[in-house]
Amino acid sequence: MTKKERYGFVISYFSEHAPNAETELVYDNPYQLLVAVVLSAQCTDKRVNMTTPALFAKYPTVFQLAKAEYEDLFDIIKSISYPGNKTRHLMGMANMLVEKFGGEVPLTVEELMQLPGVGRKTANVITSVVDNQPNMAVDTHVFRVAARIGLTNNAKTPLAAEMQLIKHIPKELIYVAHHWLILHGRYICVARTPKCEECGLKIACKYYHFHKEII
Ligand code: SF4
């Protein structure tokens, strides 16, 4: 199977089976999504969704979050991984949003990456989810699944994987393709033992062909 055929198969499969894939983070506006994505680093969306209602109740806008006391915010997010760092990041992020961006979440990757706690992956998530921009956020699931299927070849870094993926996925599908891969990695192509027998991508998957020796 050529790379073009492999991409074609994967895109057709997900277009049919998960046309409306979306983030599992619960949010109402770009501010809430940004906070949730920052909290989700090294943490499950489920855990983040258990935490954010209390956070958004106490800090309904970025202006209120910018005035948060460290101890109060830490107390709300303490069950999430790296609560100290994330408390500092959220406070710094909220302050910069207020001081530099008038309290609005900017929608360019370059501007977002200026915010404390916001790297390329987070910036790609925000711009693709809020604005359907053709930016591919590569997290651990996307990185693993893309490599196993053979959508990426010898990508050593998330950035290298991102570049390979956006080169082959039609621009108008990139925002949703991120969710296809992340959800597939979360529920089917899981890290330790991928559930290949129930996976609809077997025919096109390099890992499957190599490990199961079916062809
Ligand atoms: S066949 Fe297996 S390794 Fe390939 S994508 Fe599916 S679950 Fe992952």
User: For domain 3-21+136-212, which architecture applies?
Assistant: Orthogonal Bundle (1.10)
Pocket test for ligand 1, best of 140, 145, 187 (most atoms within 8 A of CB): 145
Spell out the domain ranges in the chain.
Answer: 3-21+136-212, 30-131
Q: Which two tokens stand for residue 191?
A: 């890290």
* Residue 205 near ligand 1, beta carbon < 6 Å: yes
Q: If we measure between CA atoms, which residue out of 57, 61, 25, 56 comes closest to residue 137?
A: 25
The amino acid present at 156, given as its one-letter code, is K
Could you read off the pLDDT of 156-198 as tens digits, one per residue?
999 999 999 999 999 999 999 999 999 999 999 999 999 999 9
- Mutation pick for ligand 1 pocket among 149, 192, 206, 212 (CB with most ligand atoms within 8 Å): 149
Distance 9 CA to ligand 1 centre (A): 13
Predicted confidence band at 215 (pLDDT cuts at 50, 70, 90)?
very low
DSSP letter string over 5-72? Answer: HHHHHHHHHHHHH-TT----S--SSHHHHHHHHHHHTTS-HHHHHHHHHHHHHH--SHHHHHT--HHH
Alpha carbon of 200 to ligand 1 centroid (Å): 8
C-alpha pair distances (Å), 93 with each of 61, 120, 123, 195? 13, 15, 13, 39
- Is pTM beyond 0.85 here? yes
Tell the CATH topology of 30-131: Endonuclease III; domain 1 (1.10.340)
Q: Each residue of 60-91: pLDDT tens digit?
A: 999 999 999 999 999 999 999 999 999 999 99
